[in-house]
Chain A
């Protein structure tokens, strides 16, 4: 079946603009994660959903970052008033159940804030 997909793949924003990044997880996957990957670094956790419930948002860097998954499937990560330090690749991952299982990653959205 289809893997995790993300859109857009690339996004250029002017500082101060709002952006919305979309993640389509693998159908039926319960858990969904967002990670931020800076250039040359490992992915860093942002937030985690189990179905529609956001169980952990401890990794969100500021209140400018907001994520939702209203129907327990597609998720959107929104960044308000983007700053240059927000430039990174935003990765979405999903896993089949709520227990530790393989996380399947999407291709990421590369955000560049000018």
Chain B
């Protein structure tokens, strides 16, 4: 089955700097890659997703890049703010089976 690895497990950045989180996946059939933000005790919330027919997607301060050949995708957050502090999860799924396989999460801390 699919295996998703995520790095780093913790990340601290100064407010205003950029943060990058990286994930790799094992199943070349995977074609949908969402990123979820989860605050303590709250539900995971989708912040951005990308499908395998595009290489990059941007939404304001958040961007995701996908390299299908290398089977890795990354989350980029620019101009970080204190409210960006949370745990971020990457995930992958494939056509015909919607279940998400999640990475182990990255705890992002923004230092004011």
Question: Taking the complex as formed, is A42 at the interface, i.e. its CB lies under 8 A from any CB of chain B?
Answer: yes
| Size of A's binding interface in residues, CB under 8 A | 26
Total number of B residues with any Cβ neighbor in A under 8 Å = 26
B104 near A42 with CB under 8 A, answer yes
The count of A-to-B residue pairs whose CB atoms sit within 8 angstroms is 60
Q: B80 on the interface (CB 8 Å rule)?
A: no
Q: Are A33 and B98 in contact (CB under 8 A)?
A: yes
Determine if A41 is an interface residue (Cβ-Cβ < 8 Å). yes
Q: Mark A34-76, 1 if CB is under 8 A from B, else 0.
A: 0100001111110010000000100100000000000000000
Query: A43 to B51, Cβ gap below 8 A?
Result: no
In the complex, which residues 22-42 of chain B have their Cβ closer than 8 Å to any Cβ of chain A? 31-32, 34, 36, 42
Residues of B within 8 A of A44 (CB): 102
Name the contact of B43 in the complex, choosing from A42, A59, A101, A108 (C-beta under 8 A).
Answer: A108
Interchain residue pairs A-B with the least CB separation, the first 5: A42-B102, A100-B32, A105-B43, A45-B99, A105-B44
Interface residues of B (CB under 8 A from A): 6, 31-32, 34, 36, 42-46, 49, 51, 89, 91, 93-95, 97-105
Selected A-B contacts with CB under 8 Å, 17 pairs: A31-B98, A33-B98, A41-B104, A42-B89, A43-B102, A45-B100, A45-B101, A48-B97, A48-B98, A56-B97, A56-B99, A95-B98, A99-B95, A100-B31, A100-B51, A102-B46, A103-B100
